[in-house]
Structure 1
Amino acid sequence: MAGAGGLGMVGLAMAPAAAAHATPGPGPNQWWFDSWGIQQDVWPITKGKGVTVAVLDTGVNARLPDMGPAVVPGGDVTGKGGDGREDFDTHDNGHGTGMASLIASQGTKTGFVGIAPEAKILPVTSPAVTGPTTAKAIRFAVDHGAKVVNMSQSSLGANLYPNQCPPELLEAVKYAADNNVVLVASAGNTGDVDNKPNYPGSCPGVLAVGALAQNGKPWASTQRQNYVTVGAPGAGVGWINKEGHAYDAGEGTSQASALAAGAVALVRSRYPQMPARQVVQRITNTAKDFGTPGRDDQLGYGVISIPRALKQKVGANAPNPVYERLDKAAAKSPGGSGATAPKAKDNDDSSGSGMLLLVGGIVVVAVLAVGGFLLLRKRGSQTPGPQPTGPQPGMP
């Protein structure tokens, strides 16, 4: 958000802590672990056990030692067949594997660890973003046990549709809401170019995530749109490609979406009976605001604070813009039917620790920023079509 510089460190966990159980600690460049207090404030409470996160992407290479134990058989909506456990990406050399690694990598070979290493990954091969295809992928994920769906992908043309969402896709979003599943998507990577709305992030009922840079400011290319609800680390964020190489750095709202999906999985693991609506409401209202008070179009209501989301209560009447938009869209649909709101259930314990984010001029680790290492994919096309949102790898 504007004006974030100069705030110094806010709730940054400084003291190292031994990782619980057998999960290795994060790699030296995984700065979001310190910023979110993952080892100190999160893993002692939950590591994501019991939650399946669907990754709608290019597939996930389940043969990698870092990913194999976490990946369950999924599906393929492209017509090629398969169960999602192979990564077909050739542009980024493993976009789907990379996003899954941010969520649940075991770190057994590379040392690169996901923030929810005890969660399961349900890979759904769905690289093209269209109304019918993405809708089919969402329904598959819901029907196969996912409690969180990550869509680190986006397409132009949202402004051509009512509610900024293709009708088939909006129906699938309602289906997910009716079945208590949280949908998370990247906001888009052309905020400093054409800044057009991108779906599925623009769809009512989807938690759209903007990208935070390591200096505590919005990433320059993150979309500036009113559908952006929260932010998460997205610049200076590496990943594991489909060949098992761990990158040190990258940038894109893809990474921000994947880390946000991991955060949602941690909350759902801690509170398995909490309805999806209340989970998103809690994530939204415990986010840490930076800069000018109030929401903005780059990081929404603020950057996700996992410790606060795990520990702080949120009132039933607190804003819940993701589902408020969905309810409004559903009321206008034929027959007025749509997502229904489960009764909120406050089953949490204490109010808790503050956030965490590294801001200002203080740097935890050096980010590889050489232009040749960061393959920023910005497209200014006016034609609706797939709009990749990263990752942008550094050197392995």
Structure 2
Amino acid sequence: MAAEFLTKRARRPRATLTTAVALAFLFANCPLAQAAPRPRSEEWWFDAWQIIRKVWPIAQGKGVTIGLIDTGVEAQLPELKDAVLRGKDFVGSTDHGGLIDTDTELGGHGTGMAALIAGQGSGSGMVGIAPKSRILPISKASGDYEKPIRYAVDHGAKVINMSEGVPTDSCPSSVQAAVNYAIQHDVVVVAAAGNDPHADSTGTPANCSGVLTVGGVDAYLSPWPDSTPGSSVMLAAPSVSVGSIGKAGVFTPGGTGTSSATALTSGVVALMRSHFPDMPGREIVQRMLATARDVGPEGWDKKTGYGALIPYKALTANVPKTAPNPVYDNIQATGSGAPNNLEHARHKPARTSTHSKSDEPGYGFNGLAFIAALTLTFLSAAGIMTFHSKRRWHSLSLKRKYHGQSVTKK
């Protein structure tokens, strides 16, 4: 059965030169971590997650390798040059080390996921949230997860990202054994919930015990309606209007799907493993669950799990070591090789603070580009100040949604 890749792309015109020039004024006073690349304006999750101002000063992923089990990565693109290690191809007659993206359906799925994690800001300007991390690319045949997972573990990955899945009633014993192997070697395994809202539950590898399964939310913390529900879903991350590059190196805005949410979550794991190099993976996951912002129905729910991932809180909050951790508790409760099918509603973590065809429209970054272009026409000192104030409000609005802050529009 063909693997179901979990990102959809919407082809839209790239911003004009006029827009690009105007947008430069937006970032004129934006503080950056030293030597950090500047993200594209469409990468709204940087504002929502306070990556530049609060997260990057703590960690940028240095020293962490992410095993990317996907379609391979177009490693020579400027956005990814020097960020991709030699991996392995488990599909085809020639092993290119995972350094060529073999995707013929979505224009470069693996490359897009790699850029979301470790994009360097060159070429199209695509920046990943963990730019100092490194990608270990592994391409695979449909449904073949056992050998790629074990390869990633044996070649230094501390995080494994699988932004794909296949429909199954339960996790195959061979895949579960590989996940167990990863956990025994202190590797955090992250997988996408899927893009089928009518499915009864998530497929493999998302339904394996010990896997951190990720659903989707938009910029305003509304659960993405097409995210696949299931008892294995633990967190939610940005999945609507999440653009990235393909193997041609062209940035495409408007991508929608839990693939992107999973890649961004793996990037956060890389940030945390960089900041806490001696912290076991189970504690990393525990912190992410305990600091998630509850969205959707109160408590755990099948689409967003324990809520929206908040990277800064996961990095800094005081999380007790006794906080619940159902991702790892499940593997103990079900036993090796058993499917992850426990109900999580009773196990809410303690809080430390009060591939379908459809596309969803962006929340507003295209409107931002329009305002920028219009502002350039009426450029004046007063105009620049007014525009900067509007962008600041837009940024604060995202932060209010993600962080529960009280913001008064001025």
TM-score (norm 1): 0.78
Report the Cα offset of residue 222 of structure 1.
0.1
Question: Quick check: which has more Rg, 1 or 2?
Answer: 2
Deviations 1:188-220 (A, max 9, x none): 1101x3344311011101000001122321111
The answer to whether the aligner puts 1:235 opposite 2:240 as a matched pair is yes
SS of the counterpart of 1:168? helix
Q: Structure 2 CA distance, aligned partners of 1:240 and 1:16?
A: 27
Greater displacement, 99-108 / 194-203: 194-203
Q: Which residue does the alignment assign to 2:89?
A: 76
CA contact (8 A) 2:199 2:229 kept: no
- Please give the residue correspondences for 1:49-64 in structure 2 after superposition, counting only pairs within 5 Å: 49-64=62-77
Change in 2 beyond 3 A, CA 1:363/1:196 = closer
8 Å contact kept, 2:223–2:295? no
Aligned residues: 322
Structure 1 residues 224-274: Cα deviation after superposition (integer angstroms, max 9, x where no partner): 111100000011101110010011111000000000000110000000000
Q: Distance in 1 between matches of 2:62 and 2:41?
A: 25
The alignment status of 1:113 with 2:127, answered yes or no, reads yes
Distance 1:315 1:15 in 2: 40
Maintained 8 Å contact 1:307/1:353? no
1:21 paired with 2:26, answer no
| Distance apart, 1:16 and its partner CA | 5.7
What are the superposed Cα offsets for residues 348-375 of structure 1, whole Å, 9 maximum, x if unpaired? xxx9999xxxxxxx9551389xxxxxxx
1:226 to 219, 227, 231: 231
Distance 1:86 1:94 in 2: 9
Are the equivalent residues in 2 in contact too, given 1:31–1:364 (CA < 8 A)? no
- Equivalent residue runs for 1:200-219 within 5 Å: 200-219=205-224
Identify the match of residue 181 of structure 1 among 167, 176, 187: 187
Q: Does 1:100 align with 2:139?
A: no
Q: Give the deviation of 1:71 after TM superposition.
A: 0.3
Call closer, same or farther: CA 1:223–1:116 in 2, change over 3 Å: same
**What per-residue deviation string (whole Å, max 9, x for no partner) do you get for residues 70-106 of structure 1?**
0010111125322001000010010000000000000
- The residue identity in structure 2 corresponding to 1:84 is G
Code of the aligned partner of 1:112: M
In structure 2, the residue corresponding to 1:211 is in which secondary structure?
strand
Q: Deviation of residue 23 (structure 1)? A: 2.6
Going from structure 1 to structure 2, the CA distance change for 1:331 and 1:126 (only over 3 Å counts) comes to: closer
SS at match of 1:69: coil
Give 1:17 shift: 2.9
Verify the 8 A CA contact 1:190 1:196 in the aligned structure 2. Answer: no
Q: Which runs of 4+ in 1 moved over 6 A?
A: 351-354
Matched, 1:311 2:313: no
Gaps of 5+ in 1: 1-13, 334-350, 355-361, 369-396
Q: Normalized against structure 2, the TM-score is what?
A: 0.75
- Find the residue that maps to 1:232 and give its secondary structure: strand
C-alpha distance in structure 2 between counterparts of 1:86 and 1:207, whole Å:
27
Distance in 1 (CA, whole Å) between partners of 2:330 and 2:225 is 27
How many Å separate the matches in 1 of 2:60 and 2:285? 18
8 Å CA contact 1:18–1:25 kept in 2: the answer is no
Higher-helix-fraction structure: 2
Aligned 8 A contact 2:299 2:306 in 1:
yes
Aligned match for 1:33, one of 46, 62, 81: 46
Residues 367 and 49 (structure 1 numbering): CA distance in 2 closer, same or farther, change over 3 Å? farther
Distance across 2 between alignment mates of 1:367 and 1:95: 27
> How many Å separate the matches in 2 of 1:292 and 1:223?
16
